[in-house]
Structure 1
């Protein structure tokens, strides 16, 4: 028995393997009752009142649907220089480096050492008391290699968790990309909408100023009263008072565009300020269905990968319950310099090494319970993200549909107000009614014009909100191998 020490090693390894009667495996990817698995989450969005949307796939570069060269250039600048995207890209690089580190654990490790020095060993230590040992130049040189056997899947689970972390970081980057594209588009549309509303307001001010001037002349000739003049002047100033607010909105949108594209406000092309009409969609807005939404939204992908990573880390924690077995080999030469690398200076070792925290494994169980709790939290977050995505999309669709209806109704009201103003003016010119009726008709038309302009601005903002909820604006989907 003593002549075959390798049999003892085999016995120890066998005992360790028998002690770990079950291997560590990852838990199921997603529970059957997860929100993402519910049939209702994969169906078509409600469409009985969505005449302005189409059940077509959402393009990744959805901003091209506006057919605006200026907007295309702004989005490309934002994607290239936005600071939030740079942070997200750095976080992704960090996750990829962690994956490389986890992958390195699957490879053998090597070591190389060399040293020399003038030394003397202790005679007492060497069991030669009474006479000091001589002082000499000594050296040491060695090479070692070791490889941990992944008997219980800890290394593989660690690698899988790191791989899922890369997927989560990719999803986080793509989510930032979606937001940057949407906010850049929103800022540009708001700037152009404000420019359009400023033109309308100034046109209304000019029209009302003409009315005020005419009223003053009529009052001078006794055909209108001072009350008519005051009312017309008040209406003129009321319309004029909306212009500073619109100018501020346009300037704020300009500043936001600069920040989103990584520039100072002074660096943006000045011709952008000349935009007085936001680009419009030439066809119904494509929205796809629930199934495509769940695959497309990067925040859902991120939450899914985070749940997968949390599940893998349970396996990492469970593997601590079992022995760790590593195979190692080393060769070295140690001795005095004058006898360097002689046969009697060489030594070597070859064999397995077993480490095991036993019998005190309380800490291992505590780490397992922690990992299990973290997975439950990750699954809950994943369900929440899925439900939130569906809620945001359905809500954006509802708001967009109702604002479209409101815009159409106001456009019809504007047509009627214009006709009423024209008819009232003709009646006044024929002497059949007083000028007060003309003022009322013009006041109504001005109010409706402003309402139409504001409704059009709101519809443009709704489109961006809907695209943001749909999660378009990125192309690379992280896939788990």
Structure 2
């Protein structure tokens, strides 16, 4: 017996000397700067956790609060986090010895009873037979496989938590966007109705002029056509606004219609804060999610490598050789065994080595996806900044153009009444003024939508003090 034990010890020590812990390769991207210059109206001030409070709109605050509490997609994400935390507790329990208590009972005749009866010339009676047993097993974590499994479960739970944070960002962003759309469309409808009132006043005026012989039927018809064009826009504006309200109801988890009479687009009370570029990007949930996936896949390589080496398990059993209930506790019938079990899939390790190669390939894919997610985050922030800057400049230009157009329309009316201008010039001025008013009202909503997109790209609004954290569980589960 000494020679096999010595040989097994030598092989085990050889495996220990060849063990190399796997270290994932770092990302080649390193620290990237999200932006080097900031457009006008944007400051590198810290981005607050609840960025929607910057609009100082109680209605918006209430809708976001309701969405975070009742949104169904967010509730599903929270349930997934709870499931992953339960998996982490399951993996953590593998560190402790496993125990099993069994007690089998059967009524009838056994082969031993039949053999004894035949030898004595008697009939074997039917009787109850009991088979108790207690087993205990503990795997010695020589290669850290159990610990790596726990760490991988923790990384997967943190990945699920990052997915929940990403869902939180999406819910907040979509709720704010739907609210801004409803307000912008309400403001747009109000502008359109004001324009319609102005056109109707012009129609009544031109009709009186026609009755006085000053205006012609052609001029009246053209003014009535402008009235119809202005009025035709209103039904779709109201329909789009109602559609935004339906979306708000879905996001807030309500089956009832949202009652909202907002006719003014919310505005920031201060320059838009974006914080420091990389610090915010590093907190984006999608980047944290990709990072935890990479960590879990790297640990998967270590777990697969541990299967290449022997496993040592200490076990203990306690049973009884007697099958009668009143004799189970007799010292003469009690049987027990204590000892180690060494198992090793050797020398055929092709399947285990293939699993190691597969795990390494999966890790390389996760590394590539992590790099891609970083690049995507940089792209989204830079694009959001560029589009916001362009929308801001467009909004300022439309404000100047609308003011000038209103002045031109007022001058055209006065000159027409004085007989210095033709009616077509007045009509063109009014049509231009109405069109610019509509564009400016749309630009008000688009500007806030660009702000919301930038807040989302920067990863704002994912923090939740009420959400369970994996780190808190890890601290509380230490033995």
Pairing 1:237-252 to 2, within 5 Å after superposition: 237-252=228-243
Q: For residue 37 of structure 2, what is the aligned residue in structure 1? A: 47
Q: Which stretch has the larger CA shift, 384-393 or 111-120?
A: 111-120
Question: Does structure 1 conserve the Cα–Cα contact (< 8 Å) formed by 2:318 and 2:334?
Answer: yes
Pairing 1:207-218 to 2, within 5 Å after superposition: 207-218=198-209
Question: Does structure 2 conserve the Cα–Cα contact (< 8 Å) formed by 1:24 and 1:152?
Answer: no
Q: How far did residue 471 of structure 1 move?
A: 1.3
Question: Does structure 1 conserve the Cα–Cα contact (< 8 Å) formed by 2:171 and 2:251?
Answer: yes
Question: Does structure 1 conserve the Cα–Cα contact (< 8 Å) formed by 2:85 and 2:470?
Answer: no
SS at 1:21 equivalent: helix
Q: For residue 25 of structure 1, what is the aligned residue in structure 2? A: 21
Residue 139, structure 1, aligned to residue 126, structure 2: no
Pairing 1:10-159 to 2, within 5 Å after superposition: 12-13=8-9, 15-23=11-19, 25-28=21-24, 30-33=25-28, 35=29, 37=30, 39=31, 41=32, 43=33, 45-48=35-38, 50-118=39-107, 121-122=110-111, 137-159=128-150
Q: How far did residue 163 of structure 1 move?
A: 0.6
Q: How far did residue 10 of structure 1 move?
A: 7.4
Q: Distance in 1 between matches of 2:200 and 2:267?
A: 32
Q: Report the CA distance shift for 1:340/1:426 in structure 2 as closer, same or farther (over 3 A).
A: closer
SS at 2:297 equivalent: helix
Q: For residue 220 of structure 2, what is the aligned residue in structure 1? A: 229
Question: Does structure 2 conserve the Cα–Cα contact (< 8 Å) formed by 1:310 and 1:378?
Answer: yes
Residue 192, structure 1, aligned to residue 179, structure 2: no
Q: Once the two structures are superposed, what CA deviation does each residue of 1:303-346 show, in whole Å capped at 9, x if it has no partner?
A: 10001000001111111111111011222233153544222111
Q: Report the CA distance shift for 1:12/1:199 in structure 2 as closer, same or farther (over 3 A).
A: same
Q: Report the CA distance shift for 1:299/1:67 in structure 2 as closer, same or farther (over 3 A).
A: same
Q: How far did residue 251 of structure 1 move?
A: 0.7
Q: Once the two structures are superposed, what CA deviation does each residue of 1:274-309 show, in whole Å capped at 9, x if it has no partner?
A: 110121111111112322222221011001000100
Q: For residue 319 of structure 1, what is the aligned residue in structure 2? A: 306
Pairing 1:253-332 to 2, within 5 Å after superposition: 253-266=244-257, 268=258, 270=259, 272=260, 274-332=261-319
Match of 1:453 among 430, 435, 441: 441
Question: Does structure 1 conserve the Cα–Cα contact (< 8 Å) formed by 2:319 and 2:336?
Answer: yes
Per the normalisation by structure 1, the TM-score is: 0.90
Q: Distance in 2 between matches of 1:336 and 1:243?
A: 89
Q: Distance in 2 between matches of 1:231 and 1:22?
A: 91
Q: Report the CA distance shift for 1:235/1:328 in structure 2 as closer, same or farther (over 3 A).
A: same
Q: Distance in 2 between matches of 1:428 and 1:478?
A: 74
Q: Once the two structures are superposed, what CA deviation does each residue of 1:88-132 show, in whole Å capped at 9, x if it has no partner?
A: 111111111111111111111111122344565535998999567
Question: Does structure 1 conserve the Cα–Cα contact (< 8 Å) formed by 2:312 and 2:342?
Answer: yes
Q: Once the two structures are superposed, what CA deviation does each residue of 1:48-77 show, in whole Å capped at 9, x if it has no partner?
A: 5x1111111211211111111111111111
Q: How far did residue 44 of structure 1 move?
A: 5.4
Match of 1:378 among 333, 345, 366: 366
Question: Does structure 1 conserve the Cα–Cα contact (< 8 Å) formed by 2:152 and 2:299?
Answer: yes
Q: CA RMSD in A?
A: 2.5
Q: Which runs of 5+ in 1 are unaligned?
A: none
Question: Does structure 2 conserve the Cα–Cα contact (< 8 Å) formed by 1:175 and 1:298?
Answer: yes
Pairing 1:458-477 to 2, within 5 Å after superposition: 458-475=446-463
Residue 391, structure 1, aligned to residue 379, structure 2: yes
Question: Does structure 1 conserve the Cα–Cα contact (< 8 Å) formed by 2:27 and 2:367?
Answer: no
Q: Which runs of 4+ in 1 moved over 3 A?
A: 7-15, 115-140, 476-481
Per the normalisation by structure 2, the TM-score is: 0.91
Q: Distance in 2 between matches of 1:238 and 1:219?
A: 22
Q: Distance in 2 between matches of 1:336 and 1:428?
A: 117
Q: Report the CA distance shift for 1:82/1:334 in structure 2 as closer, same or farther (over 3 A).
A: same
Q: For residue 416 of structure 2, what is the aligned residue in structure 1? A: 428
Match of 2:167 among 158, 168, 176: 176
Q: Report the CA distance shift for 1:414/1:17 in structure 2 as closer, same or farther (over 3 A).
A: same
